[in-house]
Structure 1
Amino acid sequence: MFRIVSLFVLLMVGMSSFAQQKVTFSGVVRDAGSGETLIGALVALEKTELATSTNNYGFYSLSTQPGTYRAIVSYVGYESKVVELALTASKRMDIELRAVDNLLDEVVVSAKKRDGNVTNAQMGAMNFTMEEVKNIPVVFGEKDLLKTIQLLPGVQSGGEGSSNFYVRGGGGDQNLILLDEATVYNASHLMGFFSTFNSDAIKDVQLYKGGIPAHFGGRVSSVLDIAMLDGNKKKFTAEGGVGLIASRLKVEGPLVKDKSSFMLSGRRTYADMFLKLSKDPDVNKSKLYFYDLNAKVNYKFDEKNTLYLSGYFGKDDLGYSDLFSFDWGNATATVRWNHILNDRLFSNTTFIYSDFAYNVMVNSDNSDFKIASKIRNWNVKQDFSFYSSPTSTLRFGVQGLQQSIHPARIKAGEGSTVNDLDVGSRQGVEVAGYVSHEWKPSDRLSMIYGLRATDFMVMGPGSFYEFDGDGEPISEQYYGSKIVKHYFQLEPRFSASFLLNKKSSIKASFNRMAQNLHQLTNTTSSLPTDQYVVSSLNIKPQIANQVALGYFRNFKNNDYEFSVEAYYKAMDNQIDFKNGADLQANKFFEGDLLFGIGRAYGAEWYLRKNTGRFTGWISYTLSKSERKFDGINDGNWFRARQDRVHDISVVGIYELSKKWTLGATFVFNTGNAVTFPSGKYEMDGKTMFYYTERNGYRMPNYHRLDLSATYEPNKENKRFKSSWSFGVYNAYNRKNAYIIDFRENESNKNITEAYRVALFGAIPSVTWNFKF
């Protein structure tokens, strides 16, 4: 390790010495109307090949030989700006871009650089903003970024109306979801029908499916990196919306003009208010709602130092009278300090807290008890970006994370037949370091390569168990507050692009990922009661190795984009359960777990139209996802629950006039793999079902059409704007199967029949949105 650090320091010194022969043009790019930093804005020197993009905090740095230049700064949806430069020495310049009024709506997913999908070395990544998703029809009419990413190639929905998603054959728990760098554990409201992310509070979203950068770690399938709005530094504004099921409001403005600002956004459903109208006393006292709150404050001390404080809190509360209640929620807090050490070296220091908890209360006859569960995360990060030249950027940093999980604590009421139980908490500490180099050695070749090293330490205090082949505990060992076991991993990352010509390229990527947090679930929808565990003596870190190869091509001056990517992912230390496993409130649950391997492979086609009155895309994914466990299916490969052969999404947005915009979405996918009974038998007068192959059957194919229309009567009014959004989810009333169950035929008990439970038919929606 000492030799690696020494070599790294020598490399930095060498780059600095070389860079001293040049001058540097650097600064921050912001929105002229609000002062928001712009992520991915393009800064290019005219008549040269020199160009760069702003980072996640709006910072750019471009080095060149001394001379006179014209810099062109551009960003999708904004007027380009030309800056005259006489560079005799390094120069700092912050740049503001003005949004284009009445701009035709762009397609939902848009690269910041028109040909970036061809030229960028990054592979398997997509970026979009909330403004770009406003015309996509979704259930209940609420803008929802998690429902939007499910329309992208390689991303599958978790089921009807669910915000849970799967990426390239991985599990739902294998996606790292970050909100201002804080982990969000359960990203669902109302059992998945809404996501936890209020779109009004979101600035930018980046999804990584492959070629994942080295500064991300902790999950083996994907990273969804979400940035909240900083707040308007120029003026006070407010916007919101009133819908059939939920309303929302956002306010933002300067605390000190051009120096400090705030953003506060809230949302709440009000189905519970209608319950109060019931004359039934049990219904009248019932609860059915969720709310969430996003807040952010920032302060710019000087040209080199900015402090950000942001947080999120959301809660769901369901209950029936005094007999049952169930609440769950996430909380996050992020303190971030951006510091520009010099014109080439950028620093970001972050302190993060996040947690997720749920509580269940049952008060029925002699079964009076409460269940509580909690997961907590403390995280500190130090990241650096070194812009050594326009063709070379070095990123490096360290991270420390403390994870604490209390799976379940049962507290029984007086006289209850339920016993008290406390499943002991588990602790884990992870330290990581990474280095990544983005390099363009020639006009045609670009690459990003790096290495991440992690050491996960299983921590006491607590009792650890050893199990026999039947899953029965045979020994117990108590450890105090010390390290019980180390899991050390090296995670190389690589992504490269080779230009065939100005319009097309070939890309390749490889990444190895490790995951020490595991979610135990046996459904395709992520439920709040799903249990989380950290790696232990019995549970090893999940490992995934993914390779991908793709062809990218643009047409008609970048108006059309086409890509096809093929991938193969091998997964080790996957987790499943024995038949009849009891995972809830069971301190010996590790004995009911099985460990095996997985594989996922497929191809993704993507065709998109970027400009004009009609925009949209078509995506098609052909894929396979399988698992192999010694204790399941006789040790043979079987389908994963999220395995789907075909997945198609068609999205279209048409600007009918200056006031009307129409949207439509059609989706089709093969049904999820599922385990159905293969036979039945009778025992003690009861009919029992007999199961053979795990996930050997499929749900029926799924398809639906969603329609939307947005009317903006006062689009020209710059002080007050409003719009009406109308939509129909599942327009042709397709009864897609949510559950397939089995029952005896009423007229002949020897016949077992399957019946379908559909969750949604056609659902109309209307929302009034306003902004001033």
Structure 2
Amino acid sequence: MKQYITLLFTLLGLNLLAQSSTISGTVKDGENGEDLFEALIIVKELSNTGAKTNAYGFYSLTLPNGTYTLIVRAPGYDHKEIEVELTSNKRMDVELFVPSAVKEIQEVEITATKENDNITKSGMAVTTLTPKDIETIPVIFGEKDIVKTLQLTPGVKAAGEGNAGFYVRGGGADQNLVLIDEAPVYNASHLLGFFSVFNSDAIKDVSLYKSGIPAEYGGRASSVMDVKMKEGNNKKFGVSGGLGLISSRLTVEGPIVKDKGSFIVSGRRSYLDLFLKASKDQDLKNTKLYFYDLNLKANYKITDRDRIFLSGYFGRDNLSFSDIFGFRWGNATGTLRWNRIINEKLFSNTSVIFSNFNYSFDIGADDEKFGVSASIQDWNVKQDFNYYANRNNSLKFGFNAIYHTFKPGELNSTVSAFNQLKVADQYALEFGVYAQNDQKIGDWFSIMYGIRYSGFNYMGKGTAYEYDENGVKTNETAYKDFESIKYHHFLEPRVSMSFILSEKNSIKLAYNRNSQFLHQLSNSTTSSPTDIWVPSTNNVKPQIADQIALGYYRNFVDNTYALTTEIYYKHLSNQIDYRNGANLFLNEEIEGGLVYGKGRTYGLEIQFEKRKGKFTGWISYTLARSLRQFDAINGGKEFSARQDRIHDIAIVAMYRVSKKIALSSNFIYYTGDAVTFPSGKYEVNGTIVPYYTERNGYRMPNYHRLDLGMTVYFKERPKFEHNLNISIYNVYARENAYTIRFEEDQDNPGKTKAIQTSLFRIVPSITYNFNIK
């Protein structure tokens, strides 16, 4: 056993003979006490030696005993140099402060950590944004939106005009794992997609993983969007907010006990319905059209080693027209987290997480009313460990278990002729176990490797059906509570390698396998709240994605400019589609209408970015294909997925004219989505019937638009700052196609004409923002 342990430690690069000690602690923002993620601790005397803080601001660095100068830095902060005499394990907490020059002129930085971190880190490029990064970028209705900004980066495509849904590297919208403080969000949009659920005032940062996904994440096939909420200012109280044409927001934060605990409460509400109350039409007066968000978070340091967090998100949409129609949907999440520094090298994070998404709609008055409701609910227990073995090895390992409850749909009616209809609830237990090591080998090579075991137990109480190859039900079996119906499991290897050619350029290679056990069924071209989430069952197969990616990264002119180039190929197994005529609405036997096939996506992504100076921004280009093949569809021939966009270009530019004025602009162009249009028509008993030839054989018109924005910063006072943001969406009034339908020409009955619907021409917006310190 001793020989085995010695060999294991040797493989991890541990030097057991040298006298060494560990220095550890946290790095925080000195003004508000927020943890700084991926702050860098550099040893001045040792080349290419240092450590990074984790998501909770903790770091650990083991060095041979001696005297060192440690440089602690994070983007946007003054660095600190601290001389340390290391003779035994030592605790060192550090606070960094924003210099006054940075407060006056905010720069745009797409990536975090040190300036050439995109070159030196082992993982593939991770897109990281903070609310400050998107402060001046013009978006629809003037509402700052991190999701809309991510859609301007390579490989991330908007689901449609103004839509907060997105596709990543050819995957479907349901293949993105969206987390807010570790809790999954199943519908991340408001007002049918025109706003995301993320209030920027409450968000600390967002990280999007497209390839080289760390082993700690599982459950989706394409990407992970990890959103972290602010923790609140533990130094002093503050109030901030904004007043816009469509919505307003307010945030209050402050200490619970100074330097030990803090809280933040942030709310946002739209008020289109308030304008309707001025109408003379009684129906319009009674119309409701609004959404709201509420973000809450509190934390408290129990001891120097223990800290607890409690956070929640609550959001709701309400669309109703008088007493004729009503549609409501929303998310609720909660996270209780305990951080513990077990010792100088081992950090623990324990979480209990709740998530619920539900919707309901009703039609008619009380005496003749129909109502439908559905939901998905999760309870999740999660345990993660960080072990800092030495300066060359950082390990992560842990597990999580999620209990899913699916309520596919229930119909209630006050009409006596109709009976209540309820699709049976479904239950499943999903769990994962993972281990991962981030290892540096010499000065030129680093590798992050790990493996995840994912399991999914579909279980009772319920009835399981069996179907033949044509979707006809052949058998059914009843199961008791918690009795296993079908168990799926996979091993998911993950590896990312970085070859550092110099401090200015590197080559990276990554492979990862991801499995997905939850699936979104939709018969529309974009995601909507009424889309149905179903588990993998004895019929519904888990999706599997295998992706390999190769990247070249180059910085220029003292890291002022950065070039990122990546190519990728992804193979998708067990993709889901529908048989012709499949019914998704309140159908207990919906699984019989599903068919399974395979897919492949591949592409080239290029981004050139200017990071420093008064003029900043980036140009991104994506060349990609997303293809599917089903034996039961399109005659077995491969066809374009609906998110197959061949070319996608985004240009983002920001110019700081002076301390008082900042200008910004976006230009977006992409080729039209693949779509199925009728190729002809024929007549049956006097009725015109459209004739369809191939799936997604046509294209929507190409999309392009230009947005402009200006932010005016008013004179700043010691405890008060404010600004005015003015933006114009779609400056040259391009009528981009939202939908295209076909109808008979009234003037020429034998002729069919295409009718295009466009949502927006020019949309001006104005928002007033303030911050009371």
Instruction: State TM-score, norm by structure 1.
Output: 0.97
- Closer, same or farther in 2 for the Cα pair 1:66/1:721, shift >3 Å? same
Separation (CA, whole Å) in 2 of partners of 1:33 and 1:501: 36
- Closer, same or farther in 2 for the Cα pair 1:17/1:614, shift >3 Å? closer
1:73 and 2:82 are equivalent in the alignment: no
Distance apart, 1:110 and its partner CA: 2.6
- Closer, same or farther in 2 for the Cα pair 1:426/1:86, shift >3 Å? same
- Closer, same or farther in 2 for the Cα pair 1:753/1:367, shift >3 Å? farther
Of the structure 1 ranges 93-102 and 640-649, higher mean CA displacement relative to structure 2 is found in: 93-102
Of the structure 1 ranges 332-341 and 128-137, higher mean CA displacement relative to structure 2 is found in: 128-137
Could you tell me which residue of structure 1 aligns to residue 23 of structure 2?
25
Could you tell me which residue of structure 2 aligns to residue 623 of structure 1?
624
Separation (CA, whole Å) in 2 of partners of 1:538 and 1:10: 46
- 1:479-558 matched pairs, under 5 angstroms: 479-481=479-481, 482-558=483-559
Could you tell me which residue of structure 1 aligns to residue 455 of structure 2?
455
Separation (CA, whole Å) in 2 of partners of 1:129 and 1:495: 25
Does the 8 Å contact 2:551/2:565 carry over to 1?
yes
Distance apart, 1:127 and its partner CA: 1.1
Separation (CA, whole Å) in 1 of partners of 2:19 and 2:634: 66
Separation (CA, whole Å) in 2 of partners of 1:266 and 1:683: 56
- CA-to-aligned-CA distance 1:181-239 (integer Å, 9 cap, x gap): 00000000000000000000000111000000000000010000010000100000010
1:51 and 2:71 are equivalent in the alignment: no
Could you tell me which residue of structure 2 aligns to residue 728 of structure 1?
728
- Closer, same or farther in 2 for the Cα pair 1:664/1:7, shift >3 Å? farther
1:423 and 2:423 are equivalent in the alignment: yes
Distance apart, 1:277 and its partner CA: 1.6
Distance apart, 1:17 and its partner CA: 8.2
SS of 1:527's equivalent?
Answer: coil
- 1:201-350 matched pairs, under 5 angstroms: 201-350=202-351
- Closer, same or farther in 2 for the Cα pair 1:359/1:507, shift >3 Å? same
Separation (CA, whole Å) in 1 of partners of 2:316 and 2:429: 27
Separation (CA, whole Å) in 2 of partners of 1:764 and 1:12: 62
Of the structure 1 ranges 635-644 and 480-489, higher mean CA displacement relative to structure 2 is found in: 480-489
Of the structure 1 ranges 245-254 and 49-58, higher mean CA displacement relative to structure 2 is found in: 49-58
Distance apart, 1:486 and its partner CA: 1.1
SS of 2:149's equivalent?
Answer: helix
Does the 8 Å contact 1:366/1:415 carry over to 2?
no
Distance apart, 1:11 and its partner CA: 4.0
Letter in 2 for 1:438: D
Distance apart, 1:300 and its partner CA: 0.2
Separation (CA, whole Å) in 1 of partners of 2:4 and 2:98: 45
Separation (CA, whole Å) in 1 of partners of 2:549 and 2:722: 45
Could you tell me which residue of structure 1 aligns to residue 364 of structure 2?
363
Letter in 1 for 2:317: D
- CA-to-aligned-CA distance 1:329-371 (integer Å, 9 cap, x gap): 0000000100001111110001100010001111169963110
Could you tell me which residue of structure 1 aligns to residue 680 of structure 2?
679
Of the structure 1 ranges 623-632 and 497-506, higher mean CA displacement relative to structure 2 is found in: 497-506
Letter in 1 for 2:423: V
Separation (CA, whole Å) in 2 of partners of 1:323 and 1:444: 67
SS of 1:146's equivalent?
Answer: helix
Distance apart, 1:679 and its partner CA: 0.7
Could you tell me which residue of structure 1 aligns to residue 636 of structure 2?
635
Letter in 2 for 1:453: Y
Does the 8 Å contact 1:622/1:646 carry over to 2?
yes
Does the 8 Å contact 1:524/1:642 carry over to 2?
no
Of the structure 1 ranges 17-26 and 37-46, higher mean CA displacement relative to structure 2 is found in: 17-26
Does the 8 Å contact 2:118/2:125 carry over to 1?
no
Could you tell me which residue of structure 1 aligns to residue 567 of structure 2?
566
Does the 8 Å contact 1:471/1:592 carry over to 2?
yes
- Closer, same or farther in 2 for the Cα pair 1:220/1:8, shift >3 Å? farther
Could you tell me which residue of structure 2 aligns to residue 379 of structure 1?
380
Could you tell me which residue of structure 1 aligns to residue 443 of structure 2?
443
- Closer, same or farther in 2 for the Cα pair 1:19/1:721, shift >3 Å? farther
SS of 1:35's equivalent?
Answer: coil
Separation (CA, whole Å) in 2 of partners of 1:66 and 1:469: 69
Aligned residues: 766
Letter in 2 for 1:770: F
Unaligned runs of 5+ in 1: none
- Closer, same or farther in 2 for the Cα pair 1:585/1:8, shift >3 Å? farther
Separation (CA, whole Å) in 1 of partners of 2:366 and 2:389: 71
Does the 8 Å contact 2:261/2:301 carry over to 1?
yes
SS of 1:558's equivalent?
Answer: coil
- Closer, same or farther in 2 for the Cα pair 1:754/1:720, shift >3 Å? same
- Closer, same or farther in 2 for the Cα pair 1:724/1:19, shift >3 Å? farther
Separation (CA, whole Å) in 2 of partners of 1:8 and 1:542: 38
Separation (CA, whole Å) in 1 of partners of 2:164 and 2:387: 37
SS of 2:132's equivalent?
Answer: helix
Letter in 2 for 1:375: I
- Closer, same or farther in 2 for the Cα pair 1:64/1:151, shift >3 Å? same
Does the 8 Å contact 2:366/2:414 carry over to 1?
no
Letter in 1 for 2:91: R
Letter in 1 for 2:158: S
Could you tell me which residue of structure 2 aligns to residue 756 of structure 1?
756
Could you tell me which residue of structure 1 aligns to residue 145 of structure 2?
144
Letter in 2 for 1:39: F
Separation (CA, whole Å) in 2 of partners of 1:8 and 1:106: 49
Of the structure 1 ranges 462-471 and 163-172, higher mean CA displacement relative to structure 2 is found in: 462-471
SS of 1:250's equivalent?
Answer: strand
SS of 2:364's equivalent?
Answer: strand
Of the structure 1 ranges 680-689 and 628-637, higher mean CA displacement relative to structure 2 is found in: 680-689
SS of 2:441's equivalent?
Answer: coil
**CA RMSD in angstroms, aligned pairs only:** 1.7
Could you tell me which residue of structure 1 aligns to residue 60 of structure 2?
61
Separation (CA, whole Å) in 2 of partners of 1:47 and 1:85: 12
Aligned-pair identity in percent equals 50
Does the 8 Å contact 2:129/2:146 carry over to 1?
no
Distance apart, 1:485 and its partner CA: 1.5
Separation (CA, whole Å) in 2 of partners of 1:335 and 1:114: 34
Letter in 2 for 1:356: F
Does the 8 Å contact 1:517/1:532 carry over to 2?
yes
Could you tell me which residue of structure 1 aligns to residue 33 of structure 2?
35
- Closer, same or farther in 2 for the Cα pair 1:9/1:525, shift >3 Å? farther
- 1:185-196 matched pairs, under 5 angstroms: 185-196=186-197
Could you tell me which residue of structure 1 aligns to residue 94 of structure 2?
95
Separation (CA, whole Å) in 2 of partners of 1:292 and 1:96: 32
Of the structure 1 ranges 164-173 and 682-691, higher mean CA displacement relative to structure 2 is found in: 682-691
Does the 8 Å contact 1:19/1:388 carry over to 2?
no
Distance apart, 1:743 and its partner CA: 1.1
Instruction: State TM-score, norm by structure 2.
Output: 0.97
Separation (CA, whole Å) in 1 of partners of 2:658 and 2:111: 22
Letter in 1 for 2:196: S
Does the 8 Å contact 1:596/1:627 carry over to 2?
yes
Distance apart, 1:724 and its partner CA: 0.1
Separation (CA, whole Å) in 2 of partners of 1:8 and 1:688: 74
Separation (CA, whole Å) in 2 of partners of 1:450 and 1:21: 29
Separation (CA, whole Å) in 2 of partners of 1:102 and 1:530: 48
SS of 1:469's equivalent?
Answer: coil
- Closer, same or farther in 2 for the Cα pair 1:646/1:14, shift >3 Å? closer
Distance apart, 1:105 and its partner CA: 2.3
Distance apart, 1:141 and its partner CA: 0.3
1:473 and 2:473 are equivalent in the alignment: yes
Could you tell me which residue of structure 2 aligns to residue 644 of structure 1?
645
Letter in 1 for 2:348: S
SS of 1:302's equivalent?
Answer: coil
Of the structure 1 ranges 476-485 and 649-658, higher mean CA displacement relative to structure 2 is found in: 476-485
- Closer, same or farther in 2 for the Cα pair 1:383/1:19, shift >3 Å? farther
